[in-house]
Structure 1
Amino acid sequence: MVGKTSDHSLSFTKEDEPDRQNKAQFSIEKNFQALTDNLPIGILLTSVEGKIINVNPEGLQMLGYNSVEDLSHIPIQDLYYNKKDRGIFLKNLETGRVRDLEMRFKRFDGSVIWCSMSSVSQENNLGERYFITSLLDITQRKKMEEEKADLLIQLTQTDKLASIGQLAAGIAHEINNPVGYVTSNLNSLEEYLSDIGKLIELDQTLIKRLNEITLPEALAKMTENIHEYARKIDLDFLREDMDGLIKDCIDGLDRIKKIVIDLKDFAHPGKKDIEPVDVNACIETTLSVGANELKYKTTVYKDLNVVPLINGIPQQLNQVFLNILVNAAQAIETTGEIRIKTWQGNNDIFLTISDTGCGIDPENISKIFDPFFTTKEVGKGTGLGMNIAYNIIQQHGGSIAVESKKGKGTTFTIILPVPEDTE
């Protein structure tokens, strides 16, 4: 009797094992359905291997599918935007639970959503493991965080520019004072040397006349010594060269004064009021400020036609032009050219800045104005310069575009509107 019972028990287990598994699976899915149908978050039931067993209505809507059947043939790893994220998820789940893991998922239509994942590992009565995972759509939150981060970066950059502007204005003011009195002193010295030069002429005339007459020996010796010393120091050359030196010093100081004025105009901390702006004057100011960056390997050609004033903030436009010019200079490896042209077309002002540099790869053209995009080495560029330039031009009601050929050069075209009341 015992033996029969034992045989019957063994026979029952083997024959009914699939049925028991089906019942266990049915029980899991039934409980899953009852618990999750009305939850406002997505819930997924998956096997360890990644087979999707069930998804609640919110999860289907979140992922863009109509039914569980549509998802049943898709492994969960194929829904990750980055397939490596599946490995990160499994690694975190080794502890038995995942909390608030942020991942990106692909929807049926190809769009991407951010989700906050939480998951637990469970076992059925047959000892089979499966995962219950919740998905909370945080796409809007992530978008707001990115916008906030971009805004913070722009505000930080603006604050830095304002600080640099204040520093530049302070330095310009400090330079301006000594330049002022040195210029004044040189002007006075020029007048003094002119008077001394006239006195030397009179002395030379007198000495020549004295040489024409017989002088006492002591006096003749003195005049000869004067002649000898005049020849030794090359008096005629000194008189001529002194005038040139004074003139060069005054010209140099005038250039310093112009650079200081341009620097103050370029920075002008705190000035953000819209005013009439001469685009050509902005170009000249920017070229003066950026001369050190440009002069060693570029020749700048200007074709600045007469254009009407626009409404804008000159300091911001200066920043745009400087960013483009510095990038142009950096794109030129040895020597090259930069050409700047302005003209009016209908109710717009057109400005082009072209260089003969290395050009931009075709796949990067569309990214030029994206924040943080840069082709420079790590540590040599923030990737914000062109993004700031783009935003400034947009704020001025204009547009900026770029054309480039690899190995040939790059051209930036800026269009700025002319105010309607400008004649």
Structure 2
Amino acid sequence: MRQDEQVQLEKIIAERTSELQKTHEETLKLLHFLQIENEKRKQSEIALKKAVSDLRESEQKFKTILNFSPSGILLIDLKGKIKEISEIGIELLGASSRQEITGKHFLHFFSKNSKQIIKNIISLTISEGLTQENELILVKLDGKQMLGSVSTALIQDSDGKPSSYVVVFNDISQRKKQQLNQIHADRMANLGQMASGMSHEINQPLNIISMIMDKMLYDAKKGNTVNIAYINERADKIFENLTRIRNIIDHIRVFSRNQFDYIPTAFSINKGIENALSMFQEQFKHMGIAMYVSLSKQLPNLNGNIYQFEQVIMNMLSNAKDAVLDRKALESEDFIPKINIKTYKKRNRVHVEIIDNGVGIEEDKINEIMIPFFSTKEEGKGTGLGLSISYQIVKDMGGKIHVESSTMSYTKFSLIFITNDNGNGR
């Protein structure tokens, strides 16, 4: 073989060897890649099996919660369709099977008056994440209604976007009746405690009538000439005071009536306070209690039961009266018992404040005074239910109670209600 052919052959062999080396390296890389991908696949299979297992476990837990929860639970998609319901929920809505409920729009189970409210609640759930203990009228499959406590929560997907809602509901019809019975019992107890005060309210106009009649009889016996204008003037005074007595008796009769069927309506806060004050004013004068009243004229109406609102004010005034009289018994004769009640509006909140200069409440007891049967009064003087019932009434009206006190100085109860009016009031 010639030398140039041998050189050419060696060159070809070198090129083929280089190509084989590259192919070998690429094959090794491919094998390594396949090994990695195979390992990833195995890991993915393991992760998938675990995810499926976790999902099944999660579904089982969810079904367990649904089946054993003491509350009715609805799982609702973003279109409002019911996807799942708990066993208790099936029973509460008067169904015999899950299929009778699932697939229906959730609004199907709310009364006409409650539909817009639950829509607003769902909108609030989207922005706030949850709502709690909203009282609404629910409708069963047979058309019967029940009073329900409804709470809602938003469920989000992995990207944080809303995916569905959970609605938790309970039938509170019996509980509400018990609360109303308790409220009525407390109202009657208040009337009993205020019997002496009401006697002052009625005695004053009776005394005025008596004095007018005595004067007319005196003039008649003396043979004085009595003209028509004189008789009309005296008759007007008599009827004015008779009307006052009739109004007091009518208000007591309505106030003491059972309010089970009362439909919440818009009412004047100031009117409710004035009605409550009418039960105390003469009694306070007789006891030497100075009463200061400052009611803003720029208040929106409040929605609820005016008689229950009056009951709250009467409870507050009764407690204030006891507090200032207790302090009066401990202070010198110069002490003047004072009770101040005022209303005002600040932004979208209406404030009602009852302030007294009585014995006050100890700091460690302020958080306990709303607990049923807790009382700072001596045994036999209070039921321990007044403030807890007041708290429930105010809460039902969408308000809250704030208490501030300093022993042997003052106590201030603030009732705060949120309104839809954002204007500033005084």
TM-score norm. by structure 2 comes to 0.44
Q: Report which of the two structures shows the higher radius of gyration computed on alpha carbons.
A: 1
TM-score norm. by structure 1 comes to 0.44
